[in-house]
Each structure stands twice: as C-alpha cells, then as structure tokens.
Chain A
Amino acid sequence: MGVNRRSFLKGAGAAIGAASVARAEDENAPDKADVLDVDEPVEVRIDLNNAPCTLRVLPDTPIAHAVRELGLTGTKLSCEGGACGACTLHADGAPRSGCLTLAVELEGARLTTIEGVGSPDALHPIQRAILETDALQCGFCTPGFVMAAVAFFDRWKAQGLAGRPPRDDVAQALAGNLCRCGCQPALLEAVAAACAGERARAPGGAVVHEERALPRVDGPEKVCGRARYTVDVQMPRMLHGAFVRSKVPHGVIQRIDTARAKRVPGVVDVDLWPIARDKGWGKLRFVGQPIAVVLAENEAAARAGARAVDIDVAQLPFVVEHRDALAANAPLVWAPEERGDVPAAGESPKEPEFLRRWEGNVRRGLVFEKEPGEHERAVHDDGVRVELHVHTEVQMHATLERHGCVASWDGAELTLHTGTQTLDMVASDLAEHLELPRAKVRVLSEHTGGAFGSKAGLRPEHVVAARASMRWRRPVRIIHSFADHLLVGGNRPGTNQRLRVGASLDGRVRAVEHHSQSMCGIAVGERSTGLTTDHLPRQTRAIVDENVVTHTAPACAFRAPGFPPNCFSLEQAVDEVAARVKRHPLVVRLAGDDDDVRRKVYRVAIEKMGPVRERAGTGHRFMRGTGIATAEWWVLAAPSCTVELRAHRTGHVEVSTAIHDLGQGARTVLLNLVHDELGLPKGQIHTRVGDSRLVPGTGAFGSLTTPSVAPPTLAACAQLRALLVKGARRMHGDCRETPTGVLVGRKLVPWRELFVALDADPVVVLGRRGDDPDGYKLPPTRLGALAAVTPVAISQDIVASVQVADVEVDRHLGRVRVRKIDVFLDAGRIASPVTARTQVVGGVIQGMSRALYEARQVGARSGVPLSRSFDAYAILGVADAPEVEVHFVEASRTHNPAGALGLGENSTIATCAAIANGVYRATGRRVMQTPVTPAHLLEVLA
C-alpha cells in the first residue's frame, strides 16, 4: 500500500508517516488505525495479467474501473451491481465481480482480465469454442462470459476430469452472467465442448448452405475483449457529462439553481438544453425526464454536480397505472392543446393530428370494422366462441451497453461515437440541431452492445455532448448510469386486450373482435393489433387499437413492435379453438388460410414436429405439454441502400456501406456475399460498416438490413466482375465469362486471379439496390418515425414462422420450464447461416424471457420506477435456457433479386404464445398475463 496513506494515533489526530499494515493482532498495541481519505489516491500493487503493476486509485474505486482506466476496456461495465457479470475478472484464479470489488482490497493479488486470456492469434479453447458455436451477437457480455467460463475450464482441468461436464455444472458456472441477445444455448454448448476438448457444434437444426458456415467476421475481436464500443472510447482532455432528471412523475419546475452545482470541484458547466428545448418549458411528465446535463472533469464530479443542481418542482397529480389513467377524473398526461407534441412510440407513421381521437388519456388509433356490426353476429354465431382477456407487462430493452456517446469537435467537423441503429438519422438530425452542413457531422458506431429498437434516432445526450464539445473544444463523454439507462433506455408497452373469436365447428376462424390498449408511457403510436389484421385477412373483423398515456417514460420500438403481445392473445385464442374442436392447431390454421408462405411453413412444421403432447403427468408434480404458435412479419426494404466495393490489384476487396452490425451479423452477411460472388478467400475481404461517412446504407430496424443490403452487394459484385472481364480481355485477349471466372481458351481463370489486370488500383464500384422489380405493397416512404431519412418500402413478401414449445410445468414450485423450442421460419436465401441461426435463437430467448420473467415495476404511489437494476428487473438466465432448434424453410416468393428476407423480428413474436399454449396443453389451464410468474401460475392452477 502506498505513499498517500496516513496513519493516526487515535485521539491525537496527527499524521506520523506511513506504516505497513500489521496483519498480526496485538491487543496491547495502541490503536493506531490506518485511515485512507476517499479523495486521496493510494497505490495498490498487484500482478496484472502476469506483470507487476501499481494501480493509483481512490480508496473507493472498484477494480473494474481501475483496469479500464489503464486502457484494458475488455472488462465491461454494465449493471454495476454484481448481477450481469460483464465485468468479471479473476483474482487469484477466482471469478469476481469487478464492479463490487474495491481495488484496495486486492493488494498483492494476482489479477487476470480478458486481455490476459488470449488473443485472436492465440485463442483460449473457451474463446475458440465460443466462436465455433457462434455463441455471441453484440459481444458486450462476451468477455465476462469468457472469464466465468475460463475459471470453470481451469477447475475442470485441474481436477483431471475428462469428457463433457454435465449441463447443470456449466449452467452453475455461467449463472452470474447475463446475455441480452440470447446466446445462452450456444454458450452452454461451447463451454462443455471446450472442456471435453471437442470441436463445438454450431447451433443445431437443419443446416442450409453448410459450406458457407463460418464464425462471424468480428467474432475474434469480441471474444478477446478488443472490440471497441462507445463506452470504451477514451480521449485526452475528455469532459464528462451527467444528466439531471426529473424525480417526480408529474410537475412543473418553479426554479432551477445551478450555483451550488457549479461550485462542486471539477464541474465545468451546467447545460439546461434538455429542458429548455421543450415547448411548455418546465413541464415534467415522467421520472427520468432529462432536465439538464452537468459537465465536469471526471464522471464522479459530474454525478456529484448533478446531485447539487437545486430544482423546485410544483408537483401535480399523476397516473402511472393503466386503470388510474382511465378513471373519469384522471389527471391528463397531455392537455388537448399539448397533444401536438406527443412523442412517437413506435415505428408506425405518426399520423396527422386531425386523424387522432383523444378521450382523456386514451388516444384511439386504428379502428377497423370490415363489415360494420357483422362481427357481433359472427362471434356469437353457433360454433365455437372464445373470449380472452390478457395483460402483458412493460418490457424494457435493458441492453447491456448503456446509452451514451462521445462527441469531439476539431474546429471544423464534429465526430460522434454512439451505439446507434440509425447512423444517418443521427447525423442528419444532429447537423440540423447544430446548424452544420450534414457533411460536417460524422457518426461512428463500430460496435453496439445491444439495441433491439432502443438505440434509434437522435437523443438528448447526442445534442448536449455535441454542443459542449464545440463550446469547450474538448471531447465530451456522456454515458448514462445503469439506473438512468433503465429509466430512459426504452421499453415495450404493456397491453390490456380483449379478444373474441368465433369459429365454425371445424375450427375455421370466421370472425374476430379485438380491443387492445397499449400503455406507451407519455408517447403514442404503438399498434398491438397488427398480427390480428395480417393473420386473419379474410375474416369478419372489428378491431380497436388504442394507446393509453401515463406519466412514465416513453415507449419506443422494440423488436417486432406490438406483435408479441398481439400474438400472446391471438394465438392462444386460435389454440383454444383447435382444442375445442379437437384438431391439430396447425391444421386448424391451414383450414382458414390461402397464403402460400404461411401454408408452406405450417406444412413443414406439421411434418417435422413430433406429436402434440397433452396433459402428460397429470396429477404429478411435473406436467408436460406441447405449445404451438405462429407469427409473421413484413419484409421491409430501403431501396436507396448502396454498397461500395474497393478492389485492389492484390486481390483484396473492401466492402463498405453505412449499415449497422448490432450483433445480427451484418458484416458477416456482406463478407459471405462477396466471397460467394467473387470467390476470394475470406481473409482478403475487409468489411466496413457503422460509419456515416460510408456510402448510404440503411438504418437497422424492422428486419430490413439484409433485404436492403444484399441486392446492392450483388449488384456491386456484378459491376466488378464486368471490370475483371474487361481486364482479362486486355491481358488474355478473347475470353468468355462464367460464374466463377473467365475461360481463356479452355482454361478457367478464377476471378481472384484477374484483379492484377484491373485498370486502376483501387477500382471503386457502387452497387445500388433500386426497387423490387414487381413493386411494393407500400412504396418507399419517409412517413415512419424511424424512416424519416431513409425511405422504407413494404415489399410484397411476408415471412412466416411457427414455434413449437416443449413445456414442463412444476406444480409445486409454480415454475414453467421450457425444455425445447423448435422454430420453423421462412427467411428466403440465407446469406450467413450461422449468424442467421444465432439471431433466431436470440429472438426465441428474448421472447421466452418476456414470457416468463420480465416486468417493469413502478411504485404506484410515488410514480417512481423500481426496476433500476438487474436485481429488480429479472431477465432469463443461462440455466433457464431451453434447447432451440432452428429449421429454415424457403417458402417466400422473394420479390428482391437477392432472395434475401429478414428474420430478426419474426423469430421473437411467437415464443410467448407458444409457451402459454404449452402451459395449457400441459395443465388444461390458460395463463392470461406475461410474465407467467410463480404467483400467476399458482393462481391459475389453484
């Protein structure tokens, strides 16, 4: 221990110089305690990754912060509460939570971080196995998982054990780590295989285009902790920002006094932009609403400054719960004259004000009656009538990487690092705010630690950081605290739904009446009846879709907005019809449906799935059943998407476009397509995405990346091939083009050997996507909230899916255990089979997490959200993960030339309904809410 430690003689209070800490206990010694002042750095000597190291830290600094300060940013900070495991490192061989372990307590310890485990050239067996199974997506949790797994691996080896460790042992070892993308099944496989010294198996299921299976392009840097996320960006002279947020659900600011905050040592400025930009200045509508940002020399000072901003608020009555919002005399979240300012919750177009109908806190959206009045008769007709009332809780995106950004200004141009799924929109909107030309703003999003819809569009921190960096000529970093991240980092609305279905005696659904209310916080725009409309196109329908506003944080798009809650009600109702008429649930669905895509997928599922298990184990503790649910999603595309190829005479090609790899594998898709089209070794293809300076790409939402980017990639490759043919003719004279190269006489010269003949170095070609040849359901439009910059079209394709859940219900412990989920889904031509399958598994895991665990809690009396940590907001853990088998079905007509469809949303929609139907088939009882907690399940079973 170091030089700044002071020793005191108790009572005397006089420093008498440093002394080493006595470990021996001596009762007779005077009480000479060693006192460390929290503001004075101390030195801690450790062995760090096999090298001696002296840390200089404050006494209350956690070790994870200390090693990150040294530039070892592979140790991630996410929840900072010991629940997520992202900061796992080893102290004397044991895995520890880096966020809860004070650095001073590690004096003399042997410390290993992810940087000390392996490198892309010398991977640890665990890292290699994680790549082989593709057990990663966004990669933010990956270093923590590697560290937990390596500790287990070392113990396994030290005990001399051979073969595959039992699943339960691996699950125990990984239980302290959370993955939001849903890689748990593959992680379990990876660790078991690595321990056994086997080659790990890629995610199960029928393998399409096996020869193209390869680990993801950015996998090696992610498993080694080298992938750089926004939170890892460190710059010299950086200022740090911390938000001041509303602590009340409803009120009006009377006074803001920043004097005390500005006196906090290290505080540079307080920016009131977040509240000042609002119309109706000073109105607070939810806990967490941004008010101001304190800028300081370091993060601790910024947070201290934020606490010192004095704000007087006149509190107003509020509503945070659905039923309170509907009460006759409920306080209004938006007064009639304010309703033009209501933020948009989803991806749906924000319709003109005159189309909106408000009644109190209810905003009525789509009202659709196919044949007015007809449904009443139809749902009451003879035959089968089903009525369900369901409730789904608010789900939070809870990405492991928190929202935030780092802005820097070089006097002429602004650079913004931020995890985003809409580079172009952030760059354009920010340029407008700063009154800069669009070309002077560059947005970088190399890696993003989970997004799922929450990291779309311009956010207050972007503007504040950019403004401050221009004003102070210093880089500005604003990363939310985890509690703030959960407050404003996005949520999926909860719903209350009433669904009535009338069916004929053969199970054919004839009429449906659906009334759904989505709780969007202060926002509007969620639509939770879309699946009902799409699934039952010919039936007599009466649909009322409403949003209920409350004094809680605005909802935003979340993977397949509106569809999973809709699926939970609709697919349980259809399942109920099938059960009543005693027919196979998918046969019932086929009977009323003439869509080719859905029919093909359902047929394949019927063929491949096992028998429907019902009421197995009745009367015993464990009951088992098979639940089935179906889903579909639109195929969206951005026709303006382009892809650039930069080809060198050495045969190296750089493929680039302003798209986003959020973990879904966009880089790998690009690389595989170029590899296939040009026959180049993968090592010679370099991909660049996540930079707004690149040629225009598309935002990453609505499963549109692959359908948007695959056609222009093929187009660019075709252009390049034409140039290669030209070069070949210059070099070889007459020759003939084939798919794999040119024929010179009878000799095939592959494309890769023709790059030397390019007439420039590099040659640059630009592939354009253009429109689908047969047109669209909805032509390219800028109407949607997220499509404000890039026009998005709705293609004539749809994608359909079936999920089959093997569910076990524990009657004693009120627990649902999902043993296996089979996914049958249509995804067109798969560009990257391994990452595609991984993404589907992730959708299923997220769906299951929502079905069984996730619920945001808000204190009804305080209006304060309680879910401010992973302790207070449970998501699925490794041990809960089922086996997931993915069956790709090529069913769609595919109206784009690349045959590419998206699968991100489609894979997550049906899971909750499949599980609910599984509970029904196991127990004969229906669960009517998500999450299916022990409390709800026991109530249903009682």
Chain B
Amino acid sequence: MKHLVTHKSILEATRAYAQAADDGAELLAGGTDVVDRMRQGISSPEPLIRILRHLPDTIEAEDGFIRIGAGARLCDVATHQTVRAVPALEEALLHTATPQIRAGATIGGAIRQRVRCHYFRHPDLQCLRRGGNSCLARGGHHESHAVFDTEAGCVAVHPSTLLTAMLALGGSLTCLVDKETKTFLVDDLVGVDLRDPHSDLALPAHAVITRIEVRNTPSRQGYLRASPRELADWAAVEVAASLREDAGRVVGARIALGAVARAPRRATAAEAALIGKPLTASSIVEAAARAADGAQPLPGTRYKVQLVEGAVRALLERIA
C-alpha cells in the first residue's frame, strides 16, 4: 500500500474502487483480512480505500426479512436481539473466527474475505490466484480444500461461514455497482465460474456490498461446524439448515454446505430426501446419506465425504 484514501461519499468510493480495482485497489472496512494479507506480504493494495464510514451498520427486521448493514460488526450482529430469531445465523456468526476478530470484522468483509489456502497465503509461492500456472494445493496439502467441483482450477474453499448460513436461510446481497444499486440472490451468487480462479462469487468484481438480507420466517434451523478444534478454527465442513414443516411433514428444506467447494452449495439430494417426510431418525439418516451426492473428492479430502454426512446428520438430529 502506498496510499490510504478516504472519499466523501460511498458513491465516490465505489467509483474510485471500480476504476482502480483491476490495478490493485482494495476496500478497507474491518480490515481483519486485508491488513493481515498486507502484513504477510500477500497483497499490496493500491490504493486502499476506507469504506467503513460510508457503510450502514443497522440491523432491522421487516417483512419477514432481517436487513443488516454491510458495516455492522459480526459481534454486534451475533448478539443482536433480532438475530435471536434466526439461530442458524446466530450460531454461524458465533462460530466465526474469534471474539477479537468478530469485534473488528464486518458483514461485508465476512463475505468478501479471500480464501485461506496456505499456498495462496504464502508470499513466496505463486498459486493460480497469484499468477501461477497451476493450483499448488491440488497436488500438495489440501486436507482443508474442496470435495465438490474439483475437476479443474483452484480447489480452495470459500471461507465465509456467513454466506453458508445465508444460503440455508435464503437471502440476498445489496450492492453498489458503479452508481446502481443492485440486489443478488444468494442462490445465484454461489454459482461461481470454476474456470476463473479469482471468482469467489457470481458478483461483479467491483461491486461494493452495502447490505445483506436473510429470511427470518420461523423454521427449524441451525448451524453446525465440524473442525479439528472446538472453536476458533476454520471449518473442515460446515452445514446450515432451515426446514419448514406442515402437519408433521417437511415441506421445505434448505441445507447448505460450507468449506466443501469454491462456494457454499446446497445439498439438494439430501433436501429432496426429506421433502414430504416427517423428521425422524430414519429420514435423517437417509437424507444425510445423500448429502455428499456428487462429491468429487481429492485424495486428501476423501474424509470430507464422510464428514459431510456426519455433520448433516448431527445437525438434523439436533434441530429435529
């Protein structure tokens, strides 16, 4: 970084970002990712654009949705009265990072943070994302990497727990793209371009997230993280689920898996297996057995097939 820039308005910041993003501009909000990358010698943003003061940080419930400003800190969201009604979101946020990071990191940054791959985060290595010819993790240490969509390109997983919860709950992002305010459904966002190693979300590269929205209509829901350590660890597999029931039968199911692919993804076969059935020990086992359908494990991520099944089962048993 050579310059730290503060613009007068979010529109100007957005415009400046759009103009310079291809040349290395980055946004500074909570800073817990970008400052880390700068200090580790991974990234050298120029300029670094301060955006936090322009971002809304309100948390409000309206029309069956919770709207959260992109500048809200994770800790404030996690402990907000309104969010109690959405345990999948609350639990997801409380499993994110550490108290110190949650007190600094913002909602927008939690979605925009870069992958945690140790090859990507090594200043002396050139992975696909940093101009190299191949994904170094694919033939190396990749135990924390993808188990779906692994046929080509980068195999790092999306690091956002928040996004996994949002995918289960149903929701959207509101962004500024140039001068336009645009809304993107989470279900569309996770369709990333696997050929493009820089694509973390199906979102215009220069979009500035200003708000998120998640559904808070009542449902059976929750979040579960499988990680080597109990807390303050990156997920090996994470799952968030939201089930709607009618007359004792599941009529709507959204089960989202995180830390398994380039973006969070729905376990559609598991969801389908639940629809129309009561939530019982046997329907849970059947659904969980389908959770990893379509997996294409790497040699080091074979265990994640089992782990996806186990995590989905453990979560469904908990919320049943």
**Which one of A34, A82, A862 lies within 8 Å of B6 (CB-CB)?**
A34
Given A26-B9, A82-B101, A176-B232, also A38-B307 (CB < 8 A): no
| 29 pairs of residues in contact across A and B, judged by CB atoms under 8 Å | A26-B8, A26-B9, A27-B9, A36-B6, A60-B38, A102-B28, A102-B31, A148-B99, A171-B231, A621-B314, A621-B317, A812-B314, A813-B311, A857-B118, A857-B141, A859-B141, A860-B140, A861-B136, A866-B119, A868-B118, A872-B118, A874-B233, A877-B229, A877-B233, A879-B229, A880-B229, A934-B236, A935-B143, A935-B303
Given A151-B99, A877-B233, A935-B300, also A60-B311 (CB < 8 A): no
Q: CB-nearest residue of chain B relative to A59?
A: B4
Rounded to whole angstroms, the CA-CA distance of A876 and B227 in the bound complex is 12
Given A861-B139, A879-B231, also A247-B124 (CB < 8 A): yes
Q: Which 6 A-B pairs have the closest CB atoms?
A: A176-B98, A812-B310, A879-B230, A935-B303, A94-B103, A34-B6
Given A33-B12, A934-B226, also A814-B306 (CB < 8 A): yes
Rounded to whole angstroms, the CA-CA distance of A172 and B102 in the bound complex is 12
Is the CB–CB distance between A34 and B5 below 8 Å?
yes
Q: Determine the chain A residues whose CB is within 8 A of the CB of B306 once the complex forms.
A: 814, 938, 942
List 13 other contacts, CB 8 Å, given A25-B9, A36-B5.
Answer: A83-B98, A99-B39, A100-B39, A102-B31, A148-B100, A175-B231, A483-B40, A811-B310, A853-B228, A859-B119, A879-B231, A879-B232, A934-B226
Which A residues are closer than 8 A to B by beta carbons? 21-23, 25-27, 29, 31-38, 59-60, 62, 80-83, 85, 88, 91, 94-97, 99-102, 104-105, 148, 151, 171-173, 175-177, 247, 483, 621, 811-815, 817, 852-853, 857, 859-862, 864, 866-869, 871-872, 874, 876-880, 931, 933-935, 938-939, 942
Rounded to whole angstroms, the CA-CA distance of A31 and B310 in the bound complex is 54
Q: Determine the chain A residues whose CB is within 8 A of the CB of B104 once the complex forms.
A: 96-97, 100-101
**Which one of B32, B35, B100, B141 lies within 8 Å of A95 (CB-CB)?**
B100
Is the CB–CB distance between A933 and B307 below 8 Å?
no
For window 72-119 of B, CB contacts with A under 8 Å fall at: 73, 75, 94, 97-101, 103-104, 116, 118-119
Q: Determine the chain A residues whose CB is within 8 A of the CB of B314 once the complex forms.
A: 621, 812-813
Determine how close the nearest CB of chain A comes to the CB of B85; give it in whole angstroms.
20
Q: Determine the chain A residues whose CB is within 8 A of the CB of B310 once the complex forms.
A: 811-814, 938
Determine how close the nearest CB of chain B comes to the CB of A133; give it in whole angstroms.
21
Interface readout for B303-319 with A: 1 if CB under 8 Å, 0 if not? 10011001101100100
Determine how close the nearest CB of chain B comes to the CB of A869; give it in whole angstroms.
7
Rounded to whole angstroms, the CA-CA distance of A25 and B6 in the bound complex is 12
Q: Determine the chain A residues whose CB is within 8 A of the CB of B236 once the complex forms.
A: 814, 934
Is the CB–CB distance between A861 and B31 below 8 Å?
no
Q: Determine the chain B residues whose CB is within 8 A of the CB of A862 once the complex forms.
A: 125, 136
Determine how close the nearest CB of chain B comes to the CB of A85; give it in whole angstroms.
6
Q: Determine the chain B residues whose CB is within 8 A of the CB of A95 once the complex forms.
A: 99-100, 103
Rounded to whole angstroms, the CA-CA distance of A761 and B234 in the bound complex is 62
Is the CB–CB distance between A813 and B229 below 8 Å?
no
**B3, CB-defined interface residue at 8 Å:** yes
Q: CB-nearest residue of chain B relative to A85?
A: B100
Q: CB-nearest residue of chain A relative to B236?
A: A934
**B21, CB-defined interface residue at 8 Å:** no
Interface readout for B283-319 with A: 1 if CB under 8 Å, 0 if not? 0000000000000000010110011001101100100
Determine how close the nearest CB of chain A comes to the CB of B288; give it in whole angstroms.
9
Determine how close the nearest CB of chain A comes to the CB of B196; give it in whole angstroms.
24
Contact count band on B: 35 or more
Determine how close the nearest CB of chain A comes to the CB of B48; give it in whole angstroms.
8
**B54, CB-defined interface residue at 8 Å:** yes
Rounded to whole angstroms, the CA-CA distance of A814 and B309 in the bound complex is 11
Q: CB-nearest residue of chain A relative to B139?
A: A861
Rounded to whole angstroms, the CA-CA distance of A173 and B35 in the bound complex is 23
Is the CB–CB distance between A97 and B101 below 8 Å?
yes
Determine how close the nearest CB of chain B comes to the CB of A313; give it in whole angstroms.
13
**B121, CB-defined interface residue at 8 Å:** yes
**B277, CB-defined interface residue at 8 Å:** no
Is the CB–CB distance between A62 and B47 below 8 Å?
no
**Which one of A247, A872, A874 lies within 8 Å of B229 (CB-CB)?**
A874
Determine how close the nearest CB of chain A comes to the CB of B197; give it in whole angstroms.
18
Determine how close the nearest CB of chain A comes to the CB of B125; give it in whole angstroms.
6
**Which one of A59, A85, A148, A880 lies within 8 Å of B230 (CB-CB)?**
A880
**B2, CB-defined interface residue at 8 Å:** yes
For window 19-59 of B, CB contacts with A under 8 Å fall at: 28, 31-32, 35-36, 38-40, 47, 50, 52-54
Q: Determine the chain A residues whose CB is within 8 A of the CB of B300 once the complex forms.
A: 935
**B320, CB-defined interface residue at 8 Å:** no
Which B residues are closer than 8 A to A by beta carbons? 1-12, 15-16, 28, 31-32, 35-36, 38-40, 47, 50, 52-54, 73, 75, 94, 97-101, 103-104, 116, 118-119, 121-122, 124-125, 136, 139-141, 143, 226, 228-234, 236, 300, 302-303, 306-307, 310-311, 313-314, 317
Determine how close the nearest CB of chain B comes to the CB of A933; give it in whole angstroms.
6
Q: Determine the chain A residues whose CB is within 8 A of the CB of B31 once the complex forms.
A: 100-102, 105
Q: Label chain B's interface by main secondary structure.
A: mixed
Rounded to whole angstroms, the CA-CA distance of A801 and B134 in the bound complex is 50
**Which one of B32, B50, B94 lies within 8 Å of A100 (CB-CB)?**
B32
Rounded to whole angstroms, the CA-CA distance of A37 and B1 in the bound complex is 9
Given A60-B4, A861-B139, A879-B231, also A85-B124 (CB < 8 A): no
Is the CB–CB distance between B100 and A82 below 8 Å?
yes
Rounded to whole angstroms, the CA-CA distance of A814 and B225 in the bound complex is 12
Rounded to whole angstroms, the CA-CA distance of A94 and B105 in the bound complex is 12
Is the CB–CB distance between B122 and A868 below 8 Å?
yes
Q: Determine the chain B residues whose CB is within 8 A of the CB of A175 once the complex forms.
A: 98-99, 231-232
**Which one of A23, A811, A874 lies within 8 Å of B228 (CB-CB)?**
A874
Q: Determine the chain B residues whose CB is within 8 A of the CB of A148 once the complex forms.
A: 99-100
Rounded to whole angstroms, the CA-CA distance of A59 and B50 in the bound complex is 12
Is the CB–CB distance between B39 and A877 below 8 Å?
no
Q: CB-nearest residue of chain B relative to A5?
A: B6
**Which one of B15, B39, B125, B232 lies within 8 Å of A864 (CB-CB)?**
B125
Given A171-B230, A862-B125, A934-B303, also A33-B40 (CB < 8 A): no
Q: Determine the chain A residues whose CB is within 8 A of the CB of B6 once the complex forms.
A: 21, 33-36
Q: Determine the chain B residues whose CB is within 8 A of the CB of A864 once the complex forms.
A: 122, 124-125
Rounded to whole angstroms, the CA-CA distance of A811 and B6 in the bound complex is 51
Given A26-B9, A31-B7, A94-B75, also A173-B99 (CB < 8 A): yes
Is the CB–CB distance between A81 and B99 below 8 Å?
no
Q: Determine the chain B residues whose CB is within 8 A of the CB of A99 once the complex forms.
A: 39
Is the CB–CB distance between A82 and B32 below 8 Å?
yes
Is the CB–CB distance between B8 and A33 below 8 Å?
yes
Determine how close the nearest CB of chain B comes to the CB of A190; give it in whole angstroms.
17
Most chain B CB inside 10 Å of its own CB: which residue of A83, A852, A860: A83
Given A861-B140, A866-B118, A874-B229, also A35-B1 (CB < 8 A): no
Q: CB-nearest residue of chain A relative to B13?
A: A33
Is the CB–CB distance between A38 and B12 below 8 Å?
no
Is the CB–CB distance between A813 and B307 below 8 Å?
yes
Is the CB–CB distance between B141 and A60 below 8 Å?
no
Rounded to whole angstroms, the CA-CA distance of A31 and B236 in the bound complex is 45
Given A172-B94, A815-B226, A862-B136, also A29-B9 (CB < 8 A): yes
Q: CB-nearest residue of chain B relative to A34?
A: B6
Determine how close the nearest CB of chain B comes to the CB of A393; give it in whole angstroms.
12
Rounded to whole angstroms, the CA-CA distance of A680 and B103 in the bound complex is 48
Rounded to whole angstroms, the CA-CA distance of A31 and B141 in the bound complex is 47
Given A80-B39, A934-B303, also A25-B10 (CB < 8 A): yes
Is the CB–CB distance between B40 and A81 below 8 Å?
yes
Determine how close the nearest CB of chain B comes to the CB of A84; give it in whole angstroms.
10
Q: Determine the chain B residues whose CB is within 8 A of the CB of A931 once the complex forms.
A: 228
Given A100-B36, A813-B311, A814-B307, also A176-B100 (CB < 8 A): yes
Q: Determine the chain A residues whose CB is within 8 A of the CB of B10 once the complex forms.
A: 25
Rounded to whole angstroms, the CA-CA distance of A104 and B53 in the bound complex is 13
Is the CB–CB distance between A96 and B103 below 8 Å?
yes
Determine how close the nearest CB of chain B comes to the CB of A467; give it in whole angstroms.
28
Determine how close the nearest CB of chain A comes to the CB of B121; give it in whole angstroms.
7
